[in-house]
């Protein structure tokens, strides 16, 4: 299980990377992040910025055996 950090204007989130289901543009340069089994999170940044951050964190070194293949776009 790999936790990633998502920044928000109201506070920051740590979420399981595998639980991110979708991204959607929101108002004021923010993005909604759909989570498996939960309501969407509103985070700071455009879709491109948020997706790049998610991929970079999910593919970061320090992966453990059994974590599965690296996430790709």
Place of tokens 């004021």: 28
Place of tokens 């928000």: 8
Are 5 and 13 spatial neighbours (Cβ–Cβ below 8 Å)? yes
Whether 27 has a pLDDT exceeding 90, the answer reads yes
- Please provide the size of the chain in residues: 73
Angle at 52 between CA 39 and CA 67, to 5 degrees: 75
pLDDT, tens only, 34-49 = 999 999 999 999 999 9
Question: Six-digit token pair at 17?
Answer: 């990377």
pTM for the whole structure:
0.79
Q: Give residue 18's pLDDT band: very low, low, confident or very high (50, 70, 90).
A: very high
**Residue 3 to residues 18, 24, 28, 48, Cα–Cα distance (Å):** 9, 21, 26, 20
């Amino acid at each position: 299980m790999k936790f990633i950090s998502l920044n928000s204007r109201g506070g920051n989130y740590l979420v399981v990377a595998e639980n991110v289901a979708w991204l959607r543009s929101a108002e004021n340069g923010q993005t909604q992040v759909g989570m498996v089994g939960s309501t969407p999170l509103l985070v700071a940044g455009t879709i491109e910025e948020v997706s790049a951050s998610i991929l970079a964190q999910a593919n970061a070194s320090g992966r453990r055996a059994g974590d599965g293949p690296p996430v790709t776009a």
